[in-house]
Each structure stands twice: as structure tokens, then as C-alpha cells.
Amino acid sequence: MTDPDRERPAEADDEQPVDAEAFYEALDARGRPVVTAAEVAAALDRPAGVVDDALSGLESDGDVGRLDVRAAKTAWYAPGRADADERITVFEKRRDVIVDQPAQYTRALLTQFAHLENTNREGGYVYTVREEDVWNAPYATFPELVSTVRSALGGRYEAIEEWIEGQWERAHKFRLATHEDGYVVLEAKSADLLGNVAEPRLDDGVLRARMGDETAWVAEDRTAELKRTLYEAGYPVQDDRELETGDDLPFDLDLDLRPYQADWIARFADSGSGVLVGPPGSGKTVAALGVMADVEGETLVLVPSRELAGQWHEEILERTTLSPEQVGEYHGGAKEIRPVTIATYRIAGMDRHRSLFDSRKWGLIVFDEVHHIPSPVHRRSASLQTKHRLGLTATPVRETEDQEEIYTLVGPPIGTDWEALFEAGYVAEPEVEIRCLPWASPAHREEYAASDGHGRRQAAATNPAKIREISAILHENRGSKAIVFVEYIDQGDAIAEALSVPFISGETPHARRSRLFDRFRRGAVDTIVVSRVGDEGIDLPDAEVAIAASGLGGSRRQGAQRAGRTMRPVGKARMYVLATRGTEEEDFARNRTKHLAARGVRVRETEPVAVVDPEDASATPDGGGVGFEAER
């Protein structure tokens, strides 16, 4: 067969003009009203640089419109043309936005200032603009924020914009600052705010004395309490304190920063504190090293596990000019306080160790997996004295709905939209599939029906039909590195035995766990089964496939963390969520992938590959009688 690409010169596409007609064809091909230059280039099969230059020329002629949004790339649209597939309906009084068939670009914009409330199978998305969404919007000025609002909604909506502006102003009513004599001061925009809002709500002793009509002296050890109380009252507090720092610690980086990582570092330098929010694989650890180099102060890194402490240690020594004598670990396996110290949250919060950390004047504290901070065990570490606080997370959501405390205890969000990193090729966008399976046998279905509460959830989660579906998925993706996540130890053992692969759980000895993870990283093992120990705090690069076999009753954050194990620039990236049909697992599967959908990840439901006939007499309680629909 003749290759059609060989029948024309390679540079032929480059020579074809990108005119308005070609641009409109690209719009029609993409099925949306707004596109990036890269999408036009892909639709027309032209170089992205050529297309970008051509679109700039068409803009000057009035044939093409430009949208410049701080949180996303430049996008282009055809003035006066509407999209038939993507329909946006705005309910101004309720501040609800309903979008049918939203493009990834639109979802990425909406995520900057709205909360995804719900999705349905038909491709409908329901967003709500809440107070905290405006307070935590990643913008330095209100005009930047409103520009994104207009781009996402396709026009101006005065009622919503006025409400957003009011919330923006509320977030700038109170400010913590350092007095020239060294103590902490609360500054209010007016005397009424201090006297009628702050003072009545704060407990005795938080404000030590009035200093003026609009200022008060704050008890230094109760600043976190002050910020949390006023936040709950609807008034986020800007923290502009000048805190003391320890000895200088200058060093250089042995790495090249991506443009968005350099932007994160610059934005952190402007604010002095904040939380880097980006998808797994986007290089938040590398950006944190850049922040450390920029701060040039002694640094405490807090992590949830010893494994992650070791990974940080290796990363610091490999990517910076810091010497081994300058970097230490402090946890159950080591007790070293150095200019850069990596400790676990649990150790840092224990009374008998806390004085060691309190006595040091840190220039920076890095809170890895910062979504843990609101929990009682980890909250104590947030009050450690430091000049700068940096949080790292892909998923700042918590089922207890106290995620806003992440920003009050550490700092405002700093990050980029996931869609931009997917499109630029820095991170592989995962394909998320939900597969609902029938029961392995009538006996298993009857066991479920006879159970209640936790027993019902466990019966659905451990449906043996999942073992054959996992085997089928691995066969579909043969040659790819895969992680199977489970909630229950017995299920993990059963899957591992059926697949002849390792199972890693909290019961696995630390040394063996480290060896198995290392073998997985090196490719000596291409499939592993893990319990919750693998949800976070362990670096598993190059995992192209993630399978959630159970644990769907967990959190949205857990679902995003598991999908995130595939988010690396390695080509394809896939996550499969398995649920037992006709049980509450179905709803859990949809709800727990909602956070991914809000971040621009496409989630779809597909039919299982393995066939299970629950009426088959040969079906056995251990999952027998299950066969493949076809050899793939």
C-alpha cells in the first residue's frame, strides 16, 4: 500500500496558508468555540509556531479573537460564532453554572473560581461559585480574576461579577503584620471591622491590647487561631508578618526548571507563603527545591512517611549542591537535625520531639501532602515557627469539608491548571474508565443481600469477579507498568496470588516494602498490588496503569491520588475504577472521580471485558466460571 504522506513534500503543509477559512475548519473539527494554537495546529496538521504566528496576523485583521487568561494558555475564537455542542447556562442569583459537553479548556477555566457540584452520564456539569472559591482564586488582582470569569462564561454577568468583587474585597479586610518593635499586629480596613467583627468573635487573649482604632496587638502563639476564626466568619486574613529566620543557607540547583515551575517560585516569592497545587508528575518537589534555593534559609520538610523522607533526601542531594552533612532525617529510623531536616508529621507533633523543632529558627517549612494539615495529628506542626510556609498537594480536598484550613494554616493556593500541563506534554492526561461488574456467583450476591453496613460494603468491594477483570485489563495493557489498589488485606492477598505478583500493605516489613518498590521502579516487577500505603507518600514513577479494585468508599482525594500514579510524561496513562453493579459502589465510583473531572480529566463508563454469568452452575465462590469475552 502506498503511504500517502510520501506522495507530497514534507514541507507542503508548512507552505499552506493558515487563513480564516482554515481556522473555522479547525473550530468545526474540534467542535468547540474556543481553541488553543496547539489544537488548531493538530487539526490542520501544521507546526504550532506557524499557526501561532498566523493567528496573531488574523487577529489584527479582525477575523480571529484572542483570549489571554492568566491561569491558562492564550486561546482563540471566531467572533460571532457559537458552539453547538458546548452550551453554558448561568443562573446569576444562585451563582450556578450548568455546562453541557464542556471542553477541557472550559473546565480548566471554571475550576479557577467555581466548585464542581455534580456531573451526569450525558456530559452535563454543574458548577457553583462559592465564597471560598473566590477567596482562594489564584490571582493577584481582581481584573485578572474577572477576565477568567468572562472567558469561562462567554460574556459579562453583572450580578455574579458584583458578588465576586464583594467577596474579593472581604478577603482583603484584615491583615497580619509585624510591628517595628517585633510583635504581631492585626490591621483592619476600618474601626468598625475591628470592633464589630474581629473583637466579638475572637476568644479572650487572642488580642492582647488595642493599639489604635484599626489595629490590635496579637498574641503570637495564637495567630493560627485568629486566622481560622476570622476565616469561618467570612473574612480571610492576609498574613504579611516578617518572621525571624535562622542561618543563611545558600545553594545552587542542578536542574532546569520548566516555565510553570519558575512561575510558581516567583509567585511564592511575592506572597511569602502558599500551597503549590498541581497534578502528580508536574514536579512540585522540584519547584519546592527552587523555593528553598530562593529563600536561602534553613529548611524543615514534613512528610507523611519514612519512605517519602528517604526519597526527599535522595532528591535534594541529587538535584542541589547541598552536601550530605547538611541534610538529615528525623523519624523512627533516624534522629538528625541538620540545616535541611526531613521529618515525619507524627514525629514533629510529638511533645518529646517538638522542642527540638521549636528551638530552631527555620527559614522555610515545606508541608508535603499538605491536605493532611487540618487533621488533629498534623495540625500541631502548622504552628512551628518559620519565616515561610510552603504546602505541596495535587488534591486539596477533604471529605470533612475542612480543606479551607489548609490555606489559613499554610497559605493561599499557587499552581497551574491541569489542562495546560496535559496539552504541553509535561504530564500524561489519564484516561479514566469506570467499569461496573456483575457478581461472580449467586452466592456472592446473596451474601451481599444478607449483609448490612460495613459488611455490605466489603462484600461489594471484594467481589471475586474483579480478579478476572483485572487480569483482562492487564492483558489489554500488556507491557505497561500497573498498580492495583485494594482496601482489604484478604482481597489483596487473593489478587496477588491469582496474578503471581507482590502485595504491599501496612503489614509488609519496611525493608521488604522498600525493596519491592525499588524493583517496581527499576522495572524488575511490572505489576504490584498495594493497600492504602500506596495512596500517597511513595514515588512510583512510570506507572502507566492504575486499577482501583476497592476502596471506593474512600475520599475524592484518594481517587485523584490513585489516578495520579499514572500522571507522568510516559505516553499513555490509564485508570480503571471497578465497581460491583447494582451496589452503592456504582455511586461511589462516580462521586470519587468527580475531583478529576473538575480538573479537566475525562471520565467515562465502559463495559467490562471479562464476562461473568451469575447463573452459570460452574461459577464457584472463589470466582470460577468466569471467562474472557475475547482474546485481545
Quote the pLDDT of residue 553. 44
Q: Which residue has the higher pLDDT, 456 or 136?
A: 456
Quote the pLDDT of residue 378. 63
Percentage, residues of the chain above pLDDT 70: 74
Give me the sign of the Cα torsion angle 331, 335, 337, 338. Answer: negative
Quote the pLDDT of residue 550. 84
Q: Is the pLDDT of residue 625 over 50?
A: no
Q: Is the pLDDT of residue 231 over 90?
A: no
| Confidence band, pLDDT 50/70/90 cuts, at residue 416 | low
Q: Is the pLDDT of residue 617 over 50?
A: no
Quote the pLDDT of residue 11. 39
Q: 3-class secondary structure for 87-135? A: EEEEECCCCEEEEECCCHHHHHHHHCCCEEEEECCCCEEEEECCHHHHH
370 in Cβ contact with 406 (< 8 Å): yes
| Confidence band, pLDDT 50/70/90 cuts, at residue 234 | confident
| Confidence band, pLDDT 50/70/90 cuts, at residue 536 | very low
46-54 long-range Cβ contacts below 8 angstroms, 24+ apart: 46/13, 46/14, 46/16, 46/18, 47/13, 47/14, 50/14, 50/18, 51/18, 54/17, 54/18, 54/19
Q: Which residue has the higher pLDDT, 508 or 349?
A: 508
Quote the pLDDT of residue 115. 82
DSSP string, 237-275: EEE-------SB----B-S---HHHHHHHHHHHHHSEEE
Rounded mean pLDDT, 396-422:
59
Q: Is the pLDDT of residue 162 over 60?
A: yes
| Confidence band, pLDDT 50/70/90 cuts, at residue 13 | very low
Quote the pLDDT of residue 129. 93
Per-residue pLDDT reduced to its tens digit, 331-340? 877 888 899 9
Q: Which amino acid is at 515?
A: R
pLDDT-wise least confident of 70-84, 100-114, 124-138, 187-201: 70-84
Contacts of 422 (CB under 8 A, 6+ apart): 104, 428, 429, 600
Q: Is the pLDDT of residue 163 over 90?
A: yes
Q: Is the pLDDT of residue 528 over 70?
A: yes
Quote the pLDDT of residue 8. 35
Percentage, residues of the chain above pLDDT 90: 25
| Confidence band, pLDDT 50/70/90 cuts, at residue 546 | confident
pLDDT-wise least confident of 91-105, 108-122, 359-373, 514-528: 108-122
Quote the pLDDT of residue 103. 74
Q: Following CA atoms 328, 330, 334, 335 in sequence, which dihedral angle do they give, to the nearest 10 degrees?
A: 90
**Can you give the pTM of this predicted structure?**
0.55
Quote the pLDDT of residue 377. 58
Per-residue pLDDT reduced to its tens digit, 331-383? 877 888 899 999 988 888 777 777 778 777 888 999 988 876 656 556 667 66
Per-residue pLDDT reduced to its tens digit, 558-604? 444 444 444 444 445 788 889 999 888 887 777 767 666 655 567 78
C-alpha cell at 338: 541538620
Per-residue pLDDT reduced to its tens digit, 174-190? 999 988 888 899 999 99
Q: Is the pLDDT of residue 214 over 50?
A: yes
250 in Cβ contact with 296 (< 8 Å): yes
Mean pLDDT of the chain: 78
Quote the pLDDT of residue 15. 52
pLDDT-wise least confident of 76-80, 223-227, 384-388: 76-80
Domains of the chain: 4-77 (1.10.10.10), 87-170 (no CATH), 174-235 (no CATH), 259-421 (3.40.50.300), 428-628 (3.40.50.300)
Rounded mean pLDDT, 5-28:
60
| Confidence band, pLDDT 50/70/90 cuts, at residue 67 | low
Q: Is the pLDDT of residue 299 over 90?
A: yes
Per-residue pLDDT reduced to its tens digit, 263-281? 889 888 888 888 888 776 7
Q: Which residue has the higher pLDDT, 185 or 260?
A: 185
Q: Give the rounded distance of the alpha carbon of 57 from its chain centre.
A: 37
Q: Which residue has the higher pLDDT, 9 or 281?
A: 281
